[in-house]
Structure 1
């Protein structure tokens, strides 16, 4: 699945990963531990590392045959919920439904056509948006986090945790502006939670209610009779700033 979904929420995570520290650097032995002992301990750690790496890759492999996916996404900043949305994806099309108070909004996206529609059912109106520029800034869908985990040097496995009663493998990635963590379900290989920490805040996305049932193509289409406004034409007619 391609980069579209989380840009709409504004969560910046698992982008700009840093490569791991280069090898070949010598370190002094810890107090009370001889150099041979330290070398042996390092060798044992290296022997365990491939097992953890293979475990992660085997989890990611479970998602490869998923063609359609629907789920609920809840975004929190410092523990406070700031957004909740229902998602549908059937590459190259995506749909996001969200509410702002009593107002419901629906975003329909077609990656192949590089176009999106922001649809307001209460107004029977939609705004057409050119996604050519936005696509390069878009973040991850649940099926795309494996893009960041293909290089073993760019992440480490922290261990196992349980999220909402489901066993997960916890992975940490060091980013330019902080650390990011991902909780992969051992059952499905899909992320149940993603977290990004910066110097000022912690952003979390919980992925709930996954379904892989087939999704009708009509789910990604505007209803007939909706008035469509082209945002490119509207902005082209606006006076340019001095």
Structure 2
């Protein structure tokens, strides 16, 4: 049962974070928190996101369990926290090198044709709207509403043959984020399920 929960969550987390990381530039993002609405083929999920420079924390509820994922662009490591069990998993194989195409704007633009679509206000922020048409047809297209003030996308819509994904950040609150949000809490034990981690890191 635990393996099934973790497997499902890993799939959701990976999908979510690859979408999140694709549009980011190499510059530092602002510090803020926001409510997350994520619509995927598996369903609609709500949660929260916390951002500080090159660090991200996402909290969601899945199968009536609170799940937390931390992504550290500064170290190239992703962490899955399981608060109910005081355990965590490390997924360094998932994110690969710090300069992977998914987190480098220049490499992204090598992977896709980028078309400027004008400016549009989204959730209180003026955004530049872009359409990315990937050279790899299996990746489809992505529309992005990017806030220069936050140096972060407010909304993303991805259309793929495998299914569409929409991620949007609402009720954005600009404020200082504590470093502890992006660290492994004291007392948590590291765990690993080889079958899952092998699949996610490949």
Same fold (TM over 0.5): yes
Task: Give 1 or 2 for the bigger CA radius of gyration.
Answer: 1
| 1:70 CA drift (Å) | 2.7
Structure 1: distance between partners of 2:122 and 2:50: 22
Q: TM-score, normalized by length of structure 1?
A: 0.55
Unaligned runs of 5+ in 2: 1-10, 196-202
2:34 counterpart residue number: 71
* Residue matched to 1:3: none
Aligned position for 2:133 = 174
| Uncovered stretches (5+) of structure 1, i.e. residues with no partner | 1-5, 17-59, 237-242
Q: How many residues align?
A: 177
Report the structure, 1 or 2, having the larger strand content: 2
Q: TM-score, normalized by length of structure 2?
A: 0.63
Map residues 81-230 of structure 1 onto 2, 5 A cutoff.
81-123=43-85, 125-131=86-92, 133-136=93-96, 146-147=105-106, 154-164=113-123, 166-175=125-134, 176-177=136-137, 178-185=140-147, 190-199=152-161, 201-226=163-188, 228-230=189-191
**Pairing 1:10–2:15 present:** yes
Q: Distance in 2 between matches of 1:7 and 1:73?
A: 14
Greater CA drift, 105-114 or 90-99: 105-114
Distance 1:198 1:95, change over 3 A: closer
CA distance in 1, matches of 2:108, 2:194: 39
8 Å CA contact 2:123–2:171 kept in 1: the answer is no
